[in-house]
Homo-oligomer: A and B are copies of this chain.
Amino acid sequence: MGEASSSGQVQRSHQPGSALPVAILGPTGYTGLELIEIILRHPMLRVAYLGSAREKQPRIDVEFPRLAGRLKGAGGEIAPMCEPLDHDAIARRCALAFLCLPHEAAMEHTPKLLDRGVKVVDLSAAYRIKDQATYEKAYGHHHTDAKNLEHAVYGLTEVARAQVKTARLCANPGCYPTAAGLSLLPLLKAGVIEPDGIIVNAASGVSGAGREPKPNTTLVEAGENYSAYGIGVHRHQPEINQTLHMHGDGPGLAPMGKHEALFVPHLLPIERGILETIYATPTSGKVDTARVMEVLTHAYAGEPFVMVRAESPTLHDVQRTNAVHINARVVSGRVVVVAAIDNLVKGASGQAVQNANVMLGLPEVMGLA
């Protein structure tokens, strides 16, 4: 998984006022709030633009009262009023924009921002799937920006660090694919598991469904409950399968294979967190727990956010951190990997800041420790 170069070291001495200005477009959802809270602690980023598509511009500390009195951050102060999505104004004030917009809106605004020299970290799915037809089938709408899709970098940071460094457009990975990709890629590359027959049994907190109320996300319906959904047809299934073919900082993405991993997500009665219990077939009888742990430990040596652990992790171990905790073992003839992340942090806004740090030449862990 390469080297986190200088990123293991937090560079803390800097000049006040020197923080880099960034925009958050679509800040009124859960990933927007999470980005704001992360950046308030980031000594070298400053939110200089909150852009909303709403008719009536919201005030962010009214939208989220927990921000009241807390908009003075380490990198500078955030003006609470949201503004319209004015590309010129954004370009004048910001070096980079985080897009927390719906997929279609992301495809509309991204080219205009890139044309004006603004780097983009897109938290929607718009630029994640390289194959346009696959994207359109999964998401049910036309892809309107094939041009930028081509050079977009899929920002699974630990795998694609060198590419992210030079990216102008970073497609921030989906929450489920982040955990699946980081768990499985080293094992696939080391040849200890078969690419065939992989099962990604996953469970996520309700924040993954967004802030909009839905009949199945009320406390009465989702609380004290648990269920599978989108069995084998979830939009993250093709993204996971694409991720399993990443070559990392090598020659780029390999063509989609015929070995489809099966993805079965479940809805947990909690706010946040994803736990994936992944089943794979060892390539030989010699692959044991020691071997799979060795592969993972070696792959993530020096990685600041990936903890390879001897015990199976819980969601409490990773909530509100950018960490990925991974455990693996061989039991009853199968490899079982358990990986935990916070879907709003490493699965969204945390990884987005990690990618922005890399794109802007800042220490990778800055603001995320």
Query: Which positions 174-213 of chain A face chain B at CB distance < 8 Å?
Result: 197, 199, 201, 203, 205-207, 211, 213
Which B residues are CB-close (under 8 A) to A225? Answer: 270, 273, 314-316
Q: Are A215 and B213 touching (Cβ within 8 A)?
A: yes
Q: Are B228 and A206 touching (Cβ within 8 A)?
A: no
Q: Are A338 and B231 touching (Cβ within 8 A)?
A: yes
- A74 vs B304: C-alpha distance when bound (angstroms): 15
Query: Which positions 25-47 of chain A face chain B at CB distance < 8 Å?
Result: 30, 40-41, 43
Q: Is A119 an interface residue (CB 8 A)?
A: no
Q: Are B334 and A270 touching (Cβ within 8 A)?
A: no
User: What is the 8 Å Cβ interface bit string for chain A, positions 265-286, against chain B (1 contact, 0 not)?
Assistant: 0101111110101010000000
Q: Is A290 an interface residue (CB 8 A)?
A: no
Q: Is A96 an interface residue (CB 8 A)?
A: no
Task: Report whether over half of chain A's contact residues are helix, strand or loop; otherwise say mixed.
Answer: loop
Which B residues are CB-close (under 8 A) to A271? Answer: 219-220, 223-224
Given A10-B72, A72-B369, A73-B369, check contact A318 B66 (CB 8 Å). Answer: yes
Given A206-B220, A217-B213, check contact A336 B226 (CB 8 Å). Answer: no
* Copies of this chain, count: 4
Which B residues are CB-close (under 8 A) to A321? Answer: 66, 70
Given A269-B269, A320-B320, check contact A227 B312 (CB 8 Å). Answer: yes
Name the segment of A12-20, A106-114, A120-128, A248-256 touching the other chain. A12-20
Q: Is A98 an interface residue (CB 8 A)?
A: no
Q: Are A228 and B264 touching (Cβ within 8 A)?
A: no
Given A72-B369, A218-B219, A232-B336, check contact A65 B224 (CB 8 Å). Answer: no
- Shortest Cβ distance from A274 into B: residue: B226
Which B residues are CB-close (under 8 A) to A331? Answer: 231-233, 262
Given A74-B10, A215-B213, check contact A314 B226 (CB 8 Å). Answer: yes
- A224 vs B214: C-alpha distance when bound (angstroms): 19
Q: Is A307 an interface residue (CB 8 A)?
A: yes
- Shortest Cβ distance from A336 into B: residue: B231
21 A-B pairs (CB sep. < 8 Å)? A10-B72, A13-B13, A68-B317, A68-B325, A69-B305, A69-B307, A70-B323, A203-B203, A213-B213, A213-B217, A217-B218, A223-B269, A224-B271, A225-B270, A225-B273, A227-B340, A228-B277, A231-B329, A232-B331, A268-B269, A269-B270
Interface residues of A (CB under 8 A from B): 8, 10, 12-16, 30, 40-41, 43, 65-66, 68-70, 72-74, 197, 199, 201, 203, 205-207, 211, 213-215, 217-229, 231-233, 260-262, 264, 266, 268-273, 275, 277, 279, 304-305, 307, 309, 311-321, 323, 325, 329, 331-334, 336, 338, 340, 369
Identify 10 new A-B residue pairs, CB closer than 8 A, beyond the known A8-B72, A68-B307, A201-B279: A65-B309, A65-B317, A201-B277, A206-B220, A217-B220, A225-B273, A231-B331, A233-B331, A262-B331, A269-B270
